[in-house]
């Protein structure tokens, strides 16, 4: 529908920026205000645990657009401004500084925050997390001064950080509750490859290990106590144990939340004047059948943030379409690139293709291809995206057969 009092977006990150930019591209002429609590221009997060942390990318390289873009496109970016409440009856956003912003349509693009480590000592100096640019800046300094690093959590961010730190010759131990790295996200084959790759960099893993406390001296971290009683000495601890969606604004305004702000296939909440996109949103996906009981998911990825921003912009510009984009993701760890198309877990078959150095794992659920993990096989990833998006039938036997022409299948040339 038409927006009369303008568009207000809470969260000036990847998704919030995208909906604004795509609306201007579509010729949307109403006022747009991006409200964000961070000080910087809207920026991309992936380099924070990769090139930026390693010193290969500078600050400007992170920005989604230079400052001039916003003025030229009539997008008001209010930095360091926190939204504190939604007055749905009055269609106004309430700001923490006491200000009020009327809206015609409100977009919640508030992202997610890191899950805190629920043990004593987690507040000690030297215990850090990585979400924003300010975290990355603090970590860059902390790495310089660190000797012994413990990473809690062998997820994507923990592993990317571990690879950067190990490449600098620092002692890095990764403590993980599950039995393998990235256990929730990838197949056993891919986990095993990355375990070895990190070990080759000098990273030590402790699996099926719990953290019971962070120990300190003089307010600073000195070690990580494990559930088995052992203490790992540490002067820097990076906690990467997953995220919590920033859904409180929606919940307080009476909108449905359940590990994410609930939206329909058009990314709308139950209030037609409020939508939610990106890391904070839980939505129905055609690719989530068998992934969750109700077929809804919440996805933390650049692809999802951008595609949902575009999808919502199309609706607000008068061309509504349900969100049905194929999920895809990447992670750079050391010299290896992992690319994932589709939603792989749970899987009932995981079929490898390729060599030990560069391979893909084709994952099947209920007899259908559900996801493809590619390690240093960008070609497979592009083919997989086509196959999955089109729903092209593929059997585990075909995937396993090195003579089977996957590219021809993806291109529709049998
Ligand atoms: P965000 O980009 O997080 O933006 C949300 C913004 O809203 C934040 O600035 C937040 O401070 C602000 N906000 C929240 N509440 C309020 C409020 N009340 N008032 C005002 N502002 C508020 N994805 C990939 O696909 N590949 C990768 O390799 C990859 N690497 C990553 C590495 C790191 C270190 C991190 C942290 C994330 C990575 N991601 C990666 C995930 C990806 O960056 C996110 O999925 C994406 O940024 C989500 O976009 P978003 O707009 O939903 O949230």
| pLDDT for residue 170 is more than 80 | yes
The alpha carbon of 131 and the centre of ligand 1 are apart by a number of angstroms equal to: 7
Atom from ligand 1 closest to the CA of residue 304: 45
Tokens (6 digits) for 227 = 């559930």
Q: 175 pLDDT exceeds 90?
A: yes
Summarize pLDDT for 187-222 with one digit per residue, the tens: 999 999 999 999 999 999 999 999 999 999 999 999
Q: Are strands 32-35 and 75-78 parallel, antiparallel or unpaired?
A: parallel
Atom of ligand 1 nearest to the CA of 17: 51
Give the confidence band of 174 by pLDDT, cuts at 50, 70, 90: very high
- pLDDT higher than threshold 90 for residue 413: no
User: Counting atoms of ligand 1 from 1, which one is nearest the CA of 45?
Assistant: 43
Calculate the average pLDDT of the chain. 96
Could you tell me if the CB of 308 is within 6 A of ligand 1? no
Q: Is 298 exposed, middle or buried (0-12, 13-18, 19+ CB in 10 A)?
A: buried
Domain with CATH 3.30.390.30 in the chain: 335-410
In the sheet with 274-276, reading across from the earlier edge strand, the strands are 75-78, 32-35, 7-10, 105-108, 274-276
Q: What is the pLDDT of residue 2?
A: 45
Please report which confidence band the pLDDT of residue 182 belongs to, taking 50, 70 and 90 as the band edges. Answer: very high
Q: Where in the chain is the domain with CATH 3.50.50.60?
A: 7-113+244-316, 127-241
Radius of gyration of the chain (CA): 22
Per-residue pLDDT at 171 exceeds 90: yes
| Closest residue to atom 23 of ligand 1, CA basis | 301
Tens of pLDDT, residue by residue over 99-121, are 999 999 999 999 999 999 999 99
The atom number, within ligand 1, closest to the CA of 42 reads 9
CA 140 to ligand 1 center in whole angstroms? 19
pLDDT tens-digit map of 31-49 = 999 999 999 999 999 999 9
SS3 75: strand
- Our answer on whether the CB atom of 331 is closer than 6 Å to any ligand 1 atom is yes
For ligand 1, say whether the CB of 49 is within 6 Å of any of its atoms: yes
Is ligand 1 within 6 A of the CB of residue 43?
Answer: no
Q: Could you tell me the CA-to-CA distances from 245 to 157, 161, 279 in Å, in that order?
A: 16, 22, 7
Cα–Cα distance, 193 to 181 (Å, whole number):
10
Determine if ligand 1 sits within 6 Å of the CB of residue 338. no
**321-342: average pLDDT:** 98
133 C-alpha to center of ligand 1: Å?
Answer: 11
Which one, of 340, 389, 338, lies nearest residue 362 by Cα?
A: 340
The CATH H-level superfamily of 7-113+244-316 is FAD/NAD(P)-binding domain (3.50.50.60)
Q: How far is CA 325 from CA 9, 83, 172, 258, 314, in A?
A: 22, 29, 37, 22, 14
Q: 12 C-alpha to center of ligand 1: Å?
A: 9
Dist CA 339 CA 331 (whole Å): 7
Superfamily grouping for domain 127-241: FAD/NAD(P)-binding domain (3.50.50.60)
Q: Is 22 in the pocket of ligand 1 (CB under 6 A)?
A: no
Which of 8, 10, 11, 41 for mutating ligand 1's site (highest number of atoms within 8 Å of CB)? 11
What's the average model confidence in pLDDT over 252-257? 98
**Alpha carbon 412 to chain centroid, angstroms:** 32
Q: What is the pLDDT of residue 1?
A: 39
Whether 264 lines ligand 1, by a CB cut-off of 6 Å, is no
Can you give the pLDDT at residue 233?
A: 98
Gap from CA of 324 to ligand 1 centroid (Å): 21
Ligand 1 geometric centre to CA of 299 (Å):
11
CATH superfamily of 335-410: FAD/NAD-linked reductase, C-terminal dimerisation domain (3.30.390.30)
Region 245-250: what's the mean pLDDT?
98
Q: How far is the CA of 100 from the centre of ligand 1 (A)?
A: 24
**What's residue 198's pLDDT?**
98
Band of residue 264 on the pLDDT scale cut at 50, 70, 90: very high
Which residue has its alpha carbon closest to ligand 1 atom 7?
11
Three-state DSSP class for 16?
Answer: helix
The protein residue whose alpha carbon is closest to atom 31 in ligand 1 is 46
């Amino acid at each position: 529908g038409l927006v009369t009092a303008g568009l207000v977006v809470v969260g000036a990150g990847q998704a919030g920026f995208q909906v604004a930019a795509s609306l201007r591209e579509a010729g949307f002429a109403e006022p747009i205000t991006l409200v964000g609590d961070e000080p910087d221009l809207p920026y991309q997060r992936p380099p924070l645990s990769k090139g930026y942390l390693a010193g290969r990318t500078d600050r400007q390289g992170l920005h989604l657009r230079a400052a001039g873009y916003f003025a030229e496109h009539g997008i008001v970016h209010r930095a360091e401004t926190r939204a504190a409440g939604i007055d749905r009856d009055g269609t106004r956003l309430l700001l923490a500084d006491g200000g009020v912003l009327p809206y015609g349509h409100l977009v919640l693009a508030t992202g997610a925050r890191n899950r805190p480590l629920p043990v004593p000592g987690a507040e000690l100096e030297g215990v850090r997390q990585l979400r924003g640019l300010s975290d990355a800046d603090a970590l860059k300094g902390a790495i310089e001064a660190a000797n012994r690093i413990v990473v809690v959590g062998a997820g994507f961010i923990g592993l990317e950080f571990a690879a950067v730190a190990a490449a600098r010759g620092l002692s890095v131990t990764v403590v993980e509750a599950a039995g393998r790295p990235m256990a929730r996200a990838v197949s056993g084959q891919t986990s095993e490859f990355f375990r070895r790759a990190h070990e080759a960099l000098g990273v030590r893993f402790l699996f099926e290990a719990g953290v019971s406390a962070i120990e300190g001296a003089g307010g600073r971290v000195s070690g990580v106590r494990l559930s088995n009683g052992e203490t790992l000495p540490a002067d820097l601890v990076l906690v990467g144990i997953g995220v919590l969606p920033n859904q409180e604004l929606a919940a307080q305004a009476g909108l449905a939340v359940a590990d994410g702000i609930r939206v329909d296939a058009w990314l709308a909440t139950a209030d037609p004047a409020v939508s939610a996109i990106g890391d904070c949103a839980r939505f129905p996906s055609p690719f989530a059948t068998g992934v969750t009981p109700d077929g809804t998911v919440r996805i933390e990825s650049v692809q999802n943030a951008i595609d949902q921003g575009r999808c919502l912009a199309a609706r607000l510009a008068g061309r509504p379409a349900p969100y049905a984009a194929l999920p895809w993701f990447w992670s750079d760890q050391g010299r290896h690139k992992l690319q994932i198309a589709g939603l792989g877990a749970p899987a009932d078959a995981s079929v490898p293709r390729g060599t030990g150095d560069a391979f893909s794992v084709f994952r099947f659920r209920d007899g259908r291809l559900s996801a493809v993990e590619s390690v240093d096989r960008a070609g497979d990833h592009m083919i997989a995206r086509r196959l999955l998006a089109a729903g092209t039938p593929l059997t585990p036997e075909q995937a396993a057969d090195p003579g089977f022409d996957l590219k021809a299948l993806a291109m529709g040339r049998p």
